[in-house]
Structure 1
Amino acid sequence: MEITFFECKDYEKKKYCAELKGHTINCISSILNAQTLKDYRDSEVVSVFIRSKLDKDNLAQFEKLSLIVTRSTGFDHIDLEECRKRKIVVTNVPFYGENTVAEHAFALILSLSRNIHKSYIRTLRDDFTIEDLQGFDLKGKTLGVIGTGHIGSHVIKMAKGFGMKVLAYDKYPDTFQADILHYQYVSLEELLRESDIVTIHTALTPETHHFINEKRLRQMKKGAILINTARGDI
């Protein structure tokens, strides 16, 4: 079986070759696109990361492709409908980096709430003044979490450690989890209106494309913080 990995790092190549002995393994450092796939059209399995695009045109170039493995949680870079038509199985990594993304979200929250980014820039300029650098405590503030899946739930746990009140919005509310972690599901409008900080942890789908638009931004508190560690198109 010919298996081709795109966006492949050197350390990954060693692992794949060791684990998949007996197969033809191609490890390509570049992303998958119309140019880079030309030499690998006979691949039966293709593995990619988030920058590679498996759209209708690129999928049409693979004559033997039966399985796509994306080494990510998100799969918006893959045309699922076209894969269904071609009977190509698509898999992802659903439990990948939840705490990593959640910690990064809180790193961004703390950077903004404490003006760390501003003080860092001043320090680079040999400016050690502290005027206008006063931040605010997270304790007692309201955090709005959009999407309460694996990443969102980690964020909620961290928020509770800071003594924050948590409001949440999800198309499929997990009321059992809400009871355990002591947060409240509300409408999106109420979440935007009441939250001091809003953080996004939902997948990019046709439904969530430009989900936070001008109308919804205007519903937020004046001076509120918006954190997006999900997809930019949301």
Structure 2
Amino acid sequence: MEVIAYMRVVAYNIEEFEKELLAKANAKVHDLTLISNGLNFNTIHYTEGKDVIIISGRDLLDKQMLEALWEIGVKKIITRSTSLEHIDMQYASVLKMHVANTPAADQSPESIAIQTISNLNNWGNKRCLGESCHCSFECDKHTHTK
């Protein structure tokens, strides 16, 4: 049995129905803090001490928000959406932030929760996220041509 590296994570804009799905997919591996509020400058303090943030398509990560997250120490972002339009990907690239989404054809809440935790597990074990990965720089596991 593979041991998965533990990560400290905060997830924003969590709907009530997502709590159980994320908890089940996580299987008590990662330290998940689930917040119903969206990510903004009034809630950003919840990211302090976290390795990863999980956001929804409703969370806007513009240049100012990305800079604030970087200053707090966040280097990895997972969006629970297929779209990346709510993230300034050009600036995330400048900061060399790792960005992932949940691109599987099955966009059911259960599938999104599983994809999200799978991304965490792969990052924790220093593996490439494959089609979920949207880093625009070369990392030690994968050369990106996006």
State the TM-score bracket (shorter-chain normalisation). Answer: 0.5 to 0.7
SS at match of 1:77: coil
Tell me, in whole angstroms, the C-alpha distance in 1 between the residues paired with 2:75 and 2:14. Answer: 20
Cα contact 2:47–2:74 (8 A) shared by 1 = no
Cα contact 1:73–1:96 (8 A) shared by 2 = no
Counterparts in 2 of 1:5 and 1:96: CA distance versus 1, 3 Å: farther
- What is the CA RMSD across the aligned residues, in angstroms? 2.0
Tell me, in whole angstroms, the C-alpha distance in 2 between the residues paired with 1:60 and 1:96. Answer: 32
Q: Aligned pair 1:14/2:9, yes or no? A: no
Cα contact 2:39–2:59 (8 A) shared by 1 = yes
Tell me, in whole angstroms, the C-alpha distance in 1 between the residues paired with 2:81 and 2:46. Answer: 24
Counterparts in 2 of 1:17 and 1:77: CA distance versus 1, 3 Å: same
Tell me, in whole angstroms, the C-alpha distance in 2 between the residues paired with 1:94 and 1:39. Answer: 26
Counterparts in 2 of 1:61 and 1:42: CA distance versus 1, 3 Å: farther
Cα contact 2:54–2:78 (8 A) shared by 1 = yes
Q: Aligned pair 1:4/2:13, yes or no? A: no
Give the unaligned 5+ runs of structure 2: 1-6, 108-146
- The one of 86, 94, 100 equivalent to 2:95 is 86
Deviation at 1:26, TM superposition (A): 0.9
Tell me, in whole angstroms, the C-alpha distance in 2 between the residues paired with 1:8 and 1:96. Answer: 21
Deviation at 1:28, TM superposition (A): 0.8
Alignment of 1:21-170 (within 5 A): 21-62=28-69, 63-96=72-105
SS at match of 2:82: coil
- TM-score norm. by structure 2 comes to 0.59
Count of paired positions:
98
Q: Deviations over 1:99-153 (max 9, x none)?
A: xxxxxxxxxxxxxxxxxxxxxxxxxxxxxxxxxxxxxxxxxxxxxxxxxxxxxxx
Q: Deviations over 1:49-90 (max 9, x none)?
A: 111011121122223212211111111110111211221111
Q: Which has the higher contact order (CA 8 A, sep 6+)?
A: 2
Match of 1:199 in 2: none
Counterparts in 2 of 1:36 and 1:22: CA distance versus 1, 3 Å: same
Larger radius of gyration: 1
Cα contact 2:47–2:53 (8 A) shared by 1 = no
Give the unaligned 5+ runs of structure 1: 99-234
